[in-house]
Structure 1
């Protein structure tokens, strides 16, 4: 009898009643996969202790593979590759399991990949610097297979992460053997028992959100060909035509990518791309810089489909905001609402949000505090004001914010703790009063305070909901300008 498919999310089944934006891992349907891929550039960029361990394992494995190829050790190459290009059954990334049932990676295809790696001039010549770059050179290796390989290399560290998540959320686990991960100490495949969450005969290994990217954001030979190889030949031909036009004293001809595509100097086959990379290392260097910088922020719930559930929570919270009266009697409710919305709005650039954070040996409390992380304008802003953390105060007021309210937050700001803070209130009646407070403190003490009323808070929610991260950054830039120049726009 065929087992009935489950449409439960991992978080639901195991009693973790949190939306994706609050979870440190990629949530997934128990009988499905999320179309995201482990990415070595993303892992190296993360910088956490777990990421460092994973990066070390990936580098160790890649060095072992490189040495085997350079020495012509085909037995070792087979040992390193065979059976490792299939995603571990405990991990739910990539192509839907239902779509790939009974397909897998055949011995013939695997043998072809092993042979291609064995004979790769790019590997022996040093043109490949990262395991992710194998995708550019080796036929049969796409972002999915490279992700599968990385998963097998680091799944012991991912199992450790899973144990920590389960401990934090009180998820019941059972001892499970995790087979054949890469041991960076012995330089061999190893196996070990870990405490993992289990449903029936299935055990699960969780993936940190910051370790994955969409297929188009990983190393991808099609993207590299379209945006780097062809652009190179556009520039090359344009330079030649410009020189000819200057010599003949005729108007220059504009070269377009579409004209190059009609008769490309090289094809989009990986063999041609590999040869191009070896001849023009400066181009792959530009591509690596882009990969190291990373893509735009990612809404994991939209990719996985969980946004349908999470969006309702955000809409309900906005309704609570509208229904919550101003005034001291509802201060706690207002603080809770702001905290929930901030967790959603800034999930991509602020982490470790806490309420009622104690300071000064428990002599004071900050309503909300969070640590900045990642790239983008908020990082620039925090760097400018020496702020690794951002204190935030919530004032459930419709009326005037006075010196006491601004001083409470300003007193938390210093060169040691950081000079950036957020202040939340319900409605601003006299904007000139707000400007007088924030601009004055900036001019006198270089303390930067951003004031968000309900209107601006809702704008932030709407932009985050539509994944308009650039819009959020634009609003923060506008608010910085208001503080510096003493202006306030609606």
Structure 2
């Protein structure tokens, strides 16, 4: 399989500071807002991406979702085209579904129908919480949103890589979201090409594989909140035999797997955990930082 590195740069794996994408198909990987959130204080690109996407979501929620301006909102979201130049996603041949008018409707309606958005909660201005809590917006859609909104940031990163390793580039017109003016704009950038198509590279530290944060948040709540309630008999149960294991010394230990299976919630009901266990979202972000690292691309070779 021809990759950017085997075709252009021929670096050793340990020398790669970008995602070595395949050139003829897509890598099943995604730009991850949790990784961006957790890297923003130590990586300038992550901070720039975080701030840009944050402003984009503020604009979307304030100007279109909250006042229920559906037509205008869908027009605003219609700029989110399929970002094929990144070579990421579920598609095996770099022909994934476009973030077209249909996808724009899905995104708008998902946010408009979400309980947090209806309450004007600032939580839906954060991409990682949108991914976790808004039904209808999964890894692929969120990754595409970030790629489109921050295309110029990633194009600049790509040019730095190309200049560093002597890769030829050409002038290309790209669209991105201008957070200062609150509008979509185009600009000319320098990018590498292959088979007549331009390429945009991404830093490795913001990329994850297929990952269900819904399941992981459920497990986090089961481990850190519900198990505590059961162990301390703060949750009324007819029997706790299924959820408690008694050690030989008489100590009681929660069986997290069973608690998780019994109390886990689908994405559109996680708001109940958010309301009941205040602080759990922020704690989960820190937990994710320690336990859910970026994708190990060596595993894909």
TM-score range, shorter chain: 0.7 to 0.9
Instruction: Name which of structure 1's ranges 50-59 and 16-25 shifts more when overlaid on structure 2.
Output: 50-59
In 2 relative to 1, CA 255–95 (structure 1 residues): closer, same or farther, beyond 3 Å?
same
User: Residue in 2 aligned with 1:28?
Assistant: 21
> In terms of Rg, which structure is larger?
1
Question: Aligned match of 1:125 in 94, 113, 121?
Answer: 121
In 1, the alpha carbon distance for the partners of 2:78 and 2:226 equals: 38
Question: Aligned match of 1:161 in 157, 160, 163?
Answer: 157
TM-score by length of 2: 0.81
In 2, the alpha carbon distance for the partners of 1:79 and 1:242 equals: 48
Q: By how many angstroms is 1:190 displaced?
A: 1.1
- TM alignment of 1:4-83, pairs within 5 A: 7-14=1-8, 16-44=9-37, 45-46=39-40, 47-68=42-63, 69-83=65-79
Q: By how many angstroms is 1:92 displaced?
A: 1.5
Residue 268 (1) aligns with residue 265 (2) = yes
User: Residue in 1 aligned with 2:228?
Assistant: 235
Q: By how many angstroms is 1:277 displaced?
A: 1.4
In 2, the alpha carbon distance for the partners of 1:221 and 1:37 equals: 16
User: Residue in 1 aligned with 2:201?
Assistant: 206
Instruction: Name which of structure 1's ranges 33-42 and 148-157 shifts more when overlaid on structure 2.
Output: 33-42
In 2, the alpha carbon distance for the partners of 1:298 and 1:259 equals: 29
User: Residue in 1 aligned with 2:133?
Assistant: 137
Contact 2:84 2:95 in 1 (8 A): no
Contact 1:11 1:27 in 2 (8 A): yes
Question: Aligned match of 2:144 in 143, 148, 164?
Answer: 148
SS at match of 2:270: helix
In 2, the alpha carbon distance for the partners of 1:171 and 1:184 equals: 30
In 2, the alpha carbon distance for the partners of 1:261 and 1:298 equals: 25
Q: By how many angstroms is 1:129 displaced?
A: 5.3
- TM alignment of 1:443-482, pairs within 5 A: none
Q: By how many angstroms is 1:61 displaced?
A: 1.0
Q: By how many angstroms is 1:186 displaced?
A: 0.8
Highest relative contact order (Cα 8 Å, sep 6+), 1 or 2?
2
Contact 2:231 2:253 in 1 (8 A): yes
User: Residue in 1 aligned with 2:279?
Assistant: 282
In 2 relative to 1, CA 201–277 (structure 1 residues): closer, same or farther, beyond 3 Å?
same
Contact 1:242 1:253 in 2 (8 A): no
Q: By how many angstroms is 1:296 displaced?
A: 4.5
In 1, the alpha carbon distance for the partners of 2:204 and 2:140 equals: 17
In 2, the alpha carbon distance for the partners of 1:53 and 1:241 equals: 44
Q: By how many angstroms is 1:182 displaced?
A: 1.0
Residue 257 (1) aligns with residue 252 (2) = no
SS at match of 2:232: helix
- TM alignment of 1:378-457, pairs within 5 A: none
Contact 2:5 2:11 in 1 (8 A): yes
Contact 2:123 2:129 in 1 (8 A): no
TM-score by length of 1: 0.52
Over the aligned positions, Cα root-mean-square deviation in angstroms equals 2.9
Contact 1:241 1:252 in 2 (8 A): no
Q: By how many angstroms is 1:87 displaced?
A: 4.2
In 2, the alpha carbon distance for the partners of 1:96 and 1:301 equals: 20
Residue 291 (1) aligns with residue 284 (2) = no
The count of residues paired between Structure 1 and Structure 2 equals 284
Q: By how many angstroms is 1:204 displaced?
A: 0.2
Q: By how many angstroms is 1:197 displaced?
A: 0.7
Question: Aligned match of 1:187 in 162, 182, 187?
Answer: 182
In 2 relative to 1, CA 143–200 (structure 1 residues): closer, same or farther, beyond 3 Å?
same
In 2, the alpha carbon distance for the partners of 1:301 and 1:17 equals: 15
In 1, the alpha carbon distance for the partners of 2:169 and 2:190 equals: 5
SS at match of 1:240: coil
| Structure 2 unaligned regions, length at least 5 | 238-249
Residue 300 (1) aligns with residue 297 (2) = yes
Instruction: Name which of structure 1's ranges 22-31 and 50-59 shifts more when overlaid on structure 2.
Output: 50-59
